[in-house]
Amino acid sequence: MSKKVFLSGIQPSGKPHIGNYFGMMKQLLGQPEDYEVYVLIVDYHAMKSVRDSKEMKENIIAVVLDYLALGLDPNKVTFFKQSDVSEHTELCWIFDTITTMPYLMRAHAFKDAEAKNKEIDVGTFNYPMLMAADILLYGPDIIPVGADQKQHIEIARDTALKFNNTYGETFKLPEAMIMKEVAIIPGTDGQKMSKSYNNTIPLFAEYEEIKKAVMSIVTDSRGGVPQNVFAIHKLFRNENELNKIYAEKAGKYKELKELLVEDLEKFIAPLREKRKEFAKDIPKALAILKAGGEKAKKVASAKMDEVREKIGVSVY
Ligand code: TRP
C-alpha cells in the first residue's frame, strides 16, 4: 500500500508568535510518521503583499530557520519553495484556461479584496488557481488548513474534476483537514493574538522581549485571577496545577506574571537557541531548501509530462 500524502503551504510573512504556533504550526509538525509530507513556502503567492526584494529574501530565510528550529526533518519532509518548481505557474496557466471568471469571482478572498479596494491585481484574483496547482501536482490526500482556506481546497477539487472531465483522469481529489484552533490564543490585551493587533509574544522571543510582553498583559480581573495571564499560562502548564497556584497567589499579579515569564522562557529558550544555531550557517539552511526543491521538481515535472500529453501539446 502506498503512503498517504500530506501537503501544506506556508506564507513567508514575518515573525511567528505563540498564537501561530499553538494554532497551526504545532499541528503541522506533529503529523504521523508514516505519511509522505510536502511543505512548501509559497513565495509567489506572497508577492501580492510583499513587493520589496530584501523583505522577500529575509522572509523566506526566516521561515526556513523557523521550521528547522521547530524540528522539521528534511529527511522526512520535502521542504521547498514554490518558485523553485516552475511547474506550479505553468499548471496554473492551464487551469486558467478551464476556469471561468464568474467562478473565481465567488471566492471569499476575492470578494473581501473587492470590498476593500477597487483595483485588484490579477494575481490576487487568480490566487486560487496557483494554489490548486501547488496542491494537484503532488497528488496529496490531505491538506491541513485553517477554516479560512476551506474554500480554496474546494476550488482545487473543482479544478481537478473539471480537468479530469475534460481530458481524462489525471488529478487526485484532495481532502481538506480543517485544523481546529486549539482555542483562540489570547494576546497581551485579551483579544485574539494577532500581528495586526500588536499584542503578540513572538515564538523566538528573547528573554527581555518575553518579560516586556508579559508585563504588558492587561489584567482585568474580578475574582483575583488575572484572566488574560491565566489564559496564556494554560498553554505551558497543567490547568489543575495552575488553579492551585493562582488561588494561592490571588491578587498577586506581579508574581503570577513573573511565573509566566519563567514558564515561557523554559519553553522558548531551547527553540530560540536552536534557531540561532541554524542562523549561524544560512547557506547550509538554504541548501536544505534547495535540495527539497530538486526533489519536488522531479515529482512535479513527471506530472506535467502527463498533463502535456493529456492536453495534446506533446508532439515529439
Ligand atoms: N492560501 C494559503 C494560506 O494563505 C497558502 C497556500 C498556498 C497553501 N498554496 C497552498 C496552503 C497549498 C496549502 C496548500 O494559508
Of 85, 98, 177, give the one whose Cα is nearest residue 140: 177
Site to substitute for ligand 1 among 40, 124, 125, 152, most atoms within 8 A of C-beta: 152
Radius of gyration of the chain from Cα atoms? 22
User: Are 72 and 213 contained in the same domain?
Assistant: no
Q: What is the CATH number of the domain that holds 240?
A: 1.10.240.10
The string of pLDDT tens digits covering residues 18-28 is 988 987 888 88
Per-residue pLDDT at 47? 93
59-82: pLDDT as tens digits: 999 999 999 999 999 999 999 999
Q: Clarify whether residues 59 and 33 are in a common domain.
A: yes
Residue 8 in this model has a pLDDT that exceeds 80: yes
CA distances from 85 to 8, 90, 131, 213 (A): 15, 9, 13, 40
Q: How many domains are there within the chain?
A: 2
Give ligand 1 pocket residues (Cβ under 6 A).
Answer: 7-9, 11, 42, 45, 131, 134-135, 143, 145, 149, 152
The H or E element spanning position 202 is: none
Cell of 260: 509566566
Residue 8: how many other CB atoms lie within 10 Å: 23
**Probe target for ligand 1 pocket from 5, 11, 27, 125, with the most ligand atoms within 8 Å of CB:** 11
Are 160 and 226 members of one domain?
A: no
Question: How much distance in Å is there from the Cα of 147 to the middle of ligand 1?
Answer: 12
pLDDT digit string, tens, across residues 116-147: 877 889 999 999 999 999 999 999 999 988 88
Q: What's the rounded mean pLDDT across residues 138-163?
A: 94
Q: Whole domain around residue 272: which residue ranges?
A: 195-277
Residue 85 maps to a domain: yes
Helices and strands, number each (H, E), in the chain: 14, 5
Q: Nine-digit cell at 207?
A: 528573554
Residues 17 and 140 reside in one and the same domain? yes
Whether 189 maps to a domain, the answer reads: no
Is residue 182's pLDDT more than 60?
no
Q: Does residue 107 sit within a domain?
A: yes
Residues in CB range of 88: below 8 A, 6 or more apart: 44, 82, 130, 133, 134, 137, 300
Q: For residue 183, what pLDDT is reported?
A: 61
Residues 6 or more apart in contact with residue 178 via CB below 8 angstroms:
145, 146, 147, 150
